Amino acid sequence: MSVLWVLGAGQLGAMLKQAGTPLGIDVRPVDIESTDTLALQPTDIVTAEREEWPETVATKQLATHNNFVNLSTFPQLADRLTQKQWLDRLELATAPWFPVEADSTATTAHKTLGERVLLKRRRGGYDGKGQYWLKQSENIDIPEDWKGYAIAEQAINFDEEVSIVGVRGRDGETHFYPLTLNLHINGILYASISPLERLKPLQNKAEAMLSKLMDALDYVGVMAMECFRVGDDLLINELAPRVHNSGHWTQAGASVCQFENHVRAVTGLPLAVAEIKNQSMMVNLIGVDLDYQWLNIQDLELYWYKKEVRPGRKVGHLNFCSGNLELLQTALAALKLPAPYPEALDWLAQNLP
């Protein structure tokens, strides 16, 4: 059996490996800083847990392999400029935007996009890093070192943030998980909840949008689409050509999780129409220490990434899945976590049916 190599050895790689185990697939995440000579065989397959990477000994070996799935798609989506151009070409709605060039000024930004404008670095941003707010009232100019390296986006006064995770096979077959409602605080995902009856009317629209994109890119594997919901409309915020944090709940709440569906897709195995088990929620563990007392909470599943705990750093997540909504409320009440968690847990409690 051939090996599935993963470019990157963070938590997503670890969870892909975990998902490959029952399938008998040898999934090998590779640290991009590794200087090992990889025993890559011609029939092996390569995927990635990140959309962009520096050229290193490890990434050079992987990126020159013939079976690197979606290789040409990564640079196109990793750069926010080309990602937005793709979305515009496909007439998929996004926040109004323009590329920040040498001659761009805050005045023109406010004239075209309004009072609040969000600059986003074209590359490398995650968890809200690489963002810069221009507020007309504060008279802030565009920093010189952002010119040529950023896009400017209109601030969207959204009702809420949702995302959809889809999977596409080699033959173009697609499947989707239900829309997920997400809470970001300071640009970082704190909590997700899915499925929600009230989001069902948007499911077809979201699936059609993501399908159009995956088809256009002839994409194979799992892709996530983050959206702003504004009334009955969806504006695409960003795309991730990989398994995604807002799909982590599928580990507890779906018969086949996003990680397994990605492994199946890239290795050419049949995709699963995942059955949704019950109500799920996910809480990201951000900058908090591991506490095994959490395991006393019923219906809680812990994923600890074994990373050094630092403020603002994702170090694990908690999944919950139950048909008993009272149990889920009890679980939320039992979780003792520092600020801003009370806000996030309260948000989950409010959004539970």
Q: In angstroms, what is the minimal distance from the CB of 80 to Mg ion?
A: 9
Contact residue for ligand ATP among 23, 93, 140, 156 (CB under 6 A)? 156
Residue 319 to residues 1, 128, 250, 325, Cα–Cα distance (Å): 32, 23, 9, 14
Binding-site partner at residue 166 among Mg ion, ligand ATP, none, CB < 5 to 8 Å by type: none
Contact residue for ligand ATP among 71, 90, 140, 155 (CB under 6 A)? 155
Residue 238 binds to ligand ATP (criterion: CB under 6 A): yes
Inter-residue contact 80 to 120 (CB < 8 Å): yes
Question: Which residue from 229, 79, 236, 81 is spatially nearest to 166, judged by alpha carbons?
Answer: 236
Residue 187 binds to ligand ATP (criterion: CB under 6 A): yes
Bridge-partner residues for 167, per DSSP?
Answer: 175, 222
User: CA-CA distance, 272 to 16, in Å (whole number)?
Assistant: 15
HEC string for 225-257: EEEEEECCEEEEEEEECCCCHHHCCHHHHECCC
User: What tokens appear for 318 in the block?
Assistant: 């908690």
Question: Which of the stretches 152-160, 273-281, 294-302, 321-329 binds ligand ATP when contact is defined by CB under 6 A?
Answer: 152-160
Binding mask 199-238 for Mg ion (x = CB under 5 A): ---------------------------x-----------x
Nearer to Mg ion, 29 or 241 (CB): 241
User: CA-CA distance, 295 to 302, in Å (whole number)?
Assistant: 7
Residue 282 binds to ligand ATP (criterion: CB under 6 A): no
Residue burial 194-204, b: 16+ Cβ < 10 Å; e: rest? bbbeebeebbe
The 10 Å Cβ neighbour count of residue 226 is: 21
Question: Which of the stretches 34-42, 133-141, 151-159, 290-298 binds ligand ATP when contact is defined by CB under 6 A?
Answer: 151-159
- According to CB under 5 A, which residues from 141 to 180 bind Mg ion? none
Residue keyed to tokens 């499925």:
195
Binding-site partner at residue 156 among ligand ATP, Mg ion, none, CB < 5 to 8 Å by type: ligand ATP
Residue 279 binds to ligand ATP (criterion: CB under 6 A): no
- According to CB under 6 A, which residues from 57 to 116 bind ligand ATP? 95
User: What tokens appear for 244 in the block?
Assistant: 């995604």
Residues that bind Mg ion (CB under 5 A): 226, 238
By the criterion CB under 6 A, which residues form the site for ligand ATP? 95, 118, 120, 125-130, 153, 155-156, 161, 184, 187, 226, 237-238
